[in-house]
Amino acid sequence: MNRVARLDHAHVWHPFTQMRDWLQRDPIVIVSGKGAVLRDTAGREYLDANSSIWTNLHGHRHPKIDEAIRRQLDRISHSSALGLANEPASLLAAKLIESANRTVPAAGRSGAFSGKRKSRATGALSKVFFSDDGSTAMEVAIKLAHEFARRERGVKRPKFLSLQNAYHGDTLGAASVGHIELFHKSWEGLRFASDVVMAPYCYRCPFNRAKPERADAREYRRCRWECVGKVEEKFASQSRTRQPYAAMVVEPLMQGAAGMIPQPRGWLARVEGIVRGHGAQLIADEVMTGFGRAGEPAIAAEMVPASGEPRGGHKAGAAGCLAVQHEGVRPDFVAVAKGLTGGYLPMAATLTTQEVFDAFLGGYEEFKTFFHGHSYTGNQLGAAAALASLELLESRASQEARRTLENVLREELKSLWALPQVGDIRQVGLMAGVELVRDWRTRAPFDLRERAGMRVTDAMAKRGVLTRPIGNVLVLMPPYCTTPAQARRMVAALRNSVEETFL
Ligand code: PMP
């Protein structure tokens, strides 16, 4: 074992890791990276098939982002946002708002379930609160929505609703709106109570009457949108208690840590209609789905009125960066992190509306201030990296590369249907989950103790492809610079590893 590995074993406690298992193995020690490739101390190369836990967008050591950080280093790395402004953070806030407000198709915005009661229109996003990671971005959204409901709607004890198996981070507030029994039960005494509602998980949905097929379960499901009906029921019964929900929290289009669970097209817009109909707010957790991960939303020309200025101050133009834009949904809060800096530095942001901002304005002595902040809020190095990353994202070259990669991935993943242990393959843009089962005909799951996912990813690592499973679900989330040949290698490694594991 080399010196670094020895030091790691002596002192480092790794996240979400059974350290007894960790200490029995030689760790892979990464020393460098370039593009989609990571290199270890022994000179072995690996494809970074989950973009270093979903953070890296454009590949490692991208010259444009490296250069932006170096340029910023020559000026200043950090000064406090408590009492001071700085250029990169101001530019980044403006850029995020501009991108997040781009107009998107409104298809499905007013579905059968959209409420008729105290419907609240939502204004454009206009304010950015910076923090450090996905969990803190969610904490900020939760605190703001809580206080907004108290101040503006007179709700005494605001409650939150989120989805079955939701994961929104590990700080206590973010964990309180999470519903993964395995992770969250340990903190039961510390979390505040929140409500849970059925998530659209077509593959294992009790209302889906379709028999298993060799296709994404969303495509062949037979149901009556009962999952949306459950959301409506929750809101209706909560409203009767005179303590209506302050907000609903969702990961748009795809729930990540829940097991890469995608929503059928139209679910999000229908749910937005319900949330609005009950006068509640919508918190979109785009920590995983943001910055092009969900693919390119089609910006429909017909959405732009003749005046050229879309309603609500939402701007038309190149594709936006958020998953909500795929369904024309406008949240009151959007949390972004992971890919914000292209996967370079820990930085996060919570975007919100003028209406929310205004609820915190007042005379100093009224103490309506948002009493929350982090030491590295608005950090210049992070903001410089993020600006460079956003510029890359909007380049034609990146958009085309992403489209190609998405198609290659879709084509390659089809080969996995030949494996009897592959139950469902679900891809949204550049995020893919492959659910392993005992037998696809019965959908019978592996017991978690069998470590089916981990055994496959260990075998993939031996083939030079790194990713991390979520239980029995294998994840592919390649950096956008991944070449078609590299994408094929990722899928081939997965296929061969499943075959080897279940021989
Ligand atoms: N929200 C979602 C959807 C996430 O996937 C994660 C992290 N996996 C978080 C929040 C928390 O982000 P962080 O790990 O940066 O705190």
pLDDT digits (tens, 9 = 90+) for 151-172: 999 999 999 999 999 999 999 9
Is the CB of residue 138 below 6 angstroms from any atom belonging to ligand 1? yes
Average pLDDT, the chain: 92
Is the CB of residue 473 below 6 angstroms from any atom belonging to ligand 1? no
DSSP-derived pairing of the beta strands 159-163 and 245-250: parallel
Taking a C-beta distance cutoff of 8 angstroms, is the pair 474, 436 a contact?
yes
- Which residues sit opposite 434 in a β-bridge? 425, 474
- Which residues sit opposite 445 in a β-bridge? 437
Number of other residues whose CB lies within 10 A of the CB of residue 82 = 10
Each residue's pLDDT tens digit, 272-282 = 999 999 999 99
Q: Is the pLDDT of residue 389 over 80?
A: yes
Best probe residue, ligand 1, of 131, 132, 167, 477 (max atoms within 8 Å of C-beta): 167
Is the CB of residue 272 below 6 angstroms from any atom belonging to ligand 1? no
Alpha-carbon span 429 to 319, nearest angstrom: 14
Is the CB of residue 292 below 6 angstroms from any atom belonging to ligand 1? no
Each residue's pLDDT tens digit, 254-305 = 999 999 999 999 999 999 999 999 999 999 999 999 999 999 876 433 333 3
User: What's the whole-number mean pLDDT along residues 480-485?
Assistant: 98
Q: Is the pLDDT of residue 105 over 80?
A: no
DSSP string, 169-183: -SSHHHHHT---HHH
What does residue 128 show for φ and ψ, rounded to 5 degrees?
-125, 125
Dihedral angle of Cα 42, 48, 52, 58, to the nearest 10 degrees: 120
Is the CB of residue 293 below 6 angstroms from any atom belonging to ligand 1? no
User: What's the whole-number mean pLDDT along residues 125-148?
Assistant: 98
Q: Is the pLDDT of residue 107 over 70?
A: no
Q: Output the CA 255–ligand 1 centroid distance in Å.
A: 11
Task: Write out the two tokens for 256.
Answer: 């990540």
Each residue's pLDDT tens digit, 393-414 = 999 999 999 999 999 999 999 9
More confident residue, 424 or 121: 424
Q: How many helices, marked H, and strands, marked E, lie in the chain?
A: 16, 17
Each residue's pLDDT tens digit, 181-229 = 998 888 989 999 999 999 999 999 999 999 999 999 999 999 999 999 9
What does residue 168 show for φ and ψ, rounded to 5 degrees?
-130, 15
pTM comes to 0.94
Identify the sign of the CA torsion 123, 129, 132, 135.
negative
Q: Is the pLDDT of residue 470 over 90?
A: yes
Q: How far apart are the first and last CA of the chain?
A: 31
Task: Write out the two tokens for 52.
Answer: 């270093």
Percent of the chain having pLDDT more than 70? 92
More confident residue, 94 or 313: 94
State the Cα angle at 349 between 344 and 350, rounded to 5°. 160
Q: Is the pLDDT of residue 21 over 50?
A: yes
Largest Cα–Cα separation, the chain: 71
Task: Write out the two tokens for 42.
Answer: 């022994």
Position 123 scores a pLDDT of: 82
Each residue's pLDDT tens digit, 315-372 = 434 567 899 999 999 999 999 999 999 999 999 999 999 999 999 999 999 999 999 9
